[in-house]
């Protein structure tokens, strides 16, 4: 079994072995070099990409639109949109097209070998992609459970706000504080974000921050760090100068200018 490339060249690679194993066709590819056979990806997204390339090579293998059209109709009718939960046919035309399988009798005994092979390939790819995606989701959930910590912020508690997304703070970035003064929590939005009470130059900022950009405020220990909160220096009072009749001086100066 040889696979015709899009440009017309004969292209024998690991897709030939995969399709021969899945479709159980009698003619096996004559030669597949080992260096041309990459590792099969285990990520669910890469498996979906592998399935797309798989069907693309399958189309160029048969060169028969009779086998291509049912596959496109099947994808057009059965694929579900992630946000709306509807098929592309429902979203585009408002109805699902009738597939060739809808007009067939359910008690048929003999089917075409091409249809049987396509059904086997479709089931194998769906099962393999579903298994790999479940493995990927399980790994991501396990990693999330190990590293994630639920925040224990409470209303009216003090915390510091990160300045990572602030662009209205004056001065060079090297001298910018990583966290700003403590603020009070006004409202909790589940466990993901909090609403704060901003003041000063931050009044125009949006008062809701994610948990990743805040941290609890820990007051400094005055015994261990006596210089962290230094007392303000006593400024000596300004000496009041004697009144030197400045108005009279300006008035005399103006008169002197007129006399000249």
Place of tokens 């399980």: 138
Please give the Cα distance from 218 to 178 (Å, whole number). Answer: 15
| pLDDT attached to residue 45 | 46
Which residue stretches of the chain have pLDDT < 70?
Answer: 1-78, 88-89, 93-112, 115-116, 148-151, 156, 164-176, 201, 219-222, 224-260
How many angstroms separate the Cα of 140 from the Cα of each of 39, 128, 137, 147, 208? Answer: 22, 18, 5, 11, 28
| pLDDT attached to residue 231 | 55
| pLDDT attached to residue 182 | 74
Cβ atoms of residues 1 and 29 within 8 Å: yes
How many CA atoms lie less than 13 Å away from 173 in the CB half-sphere? 4
- All domains of the chain, ordered by start, with CATH? 3-102+111-147 (no CATH), 158-216 (2.30.30)
| pLDDT attached to residue 14 | 46
Place of tokens 């086997």: 120
State the Cα angle at 91 between 67 and 115, rounded to 5°. Answer: 15
Q: How far is CA 175 from the centre of its chain?
A: 31
Sequence-separated (6 or more) residues with CB below 8 Å from residue 216: 153, 157, 158, 159, 160
Please give the Cα distance from 222 to 236 (Å, whole number). Answer: 27
């Amino acid at each position: 079994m040889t696979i015709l490339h899009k440009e017309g060249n004969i292209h024998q690679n690991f897709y030939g072995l995969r399709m021969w194993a899945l479709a159980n066709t009698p003619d096996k590819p004559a030669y597949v070099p080992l260096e041309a056979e990459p590792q099969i990806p285990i990520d669910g997204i890469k498996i979906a990409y592998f399935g797309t390339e798989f069907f693309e090579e399958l189309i160029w293998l048969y060169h028969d639109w009779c086998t291509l059209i049912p596959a496109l109709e099947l994808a057009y009718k059965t694929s579900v949109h992630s946000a709306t939960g509807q098929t592309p046919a429902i979203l585009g035309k408002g109805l699902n097209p009738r597939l060739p399988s809808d007009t067939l009798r359910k008690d048929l005994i003999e089917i075409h070998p091409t249809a049987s092979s396509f059904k086997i390939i479709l089931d194998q790819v769906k099962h393999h992609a579903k298994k790999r995606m479940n493995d990927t989701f399980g790994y991501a959930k396990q990693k999330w459970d190990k590293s994630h910590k639920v925040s224990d912020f409470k209303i009216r508690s003090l915390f510091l706000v990160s300045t990572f997304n602030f662009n209205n703070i004056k001065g060079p970035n090297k001298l910018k504080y990583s966290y700003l003064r403590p603020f009070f929590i006004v409202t909790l939005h589940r466990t993901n974000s909090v609403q704060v009470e901003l003041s000063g130059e931050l009044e125009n900022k949006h008062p809701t921050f994610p948990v990743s950009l805040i941290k609890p405020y820990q007051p400094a220990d005055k015994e261990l760090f006596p210089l962290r909160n230094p007392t303000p220096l006593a400024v000596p009072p300004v000496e009041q100068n004697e009144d030197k009749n400045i108005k009279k001086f300006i008035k005399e100066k103006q008169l002197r200018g007129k006399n000249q």
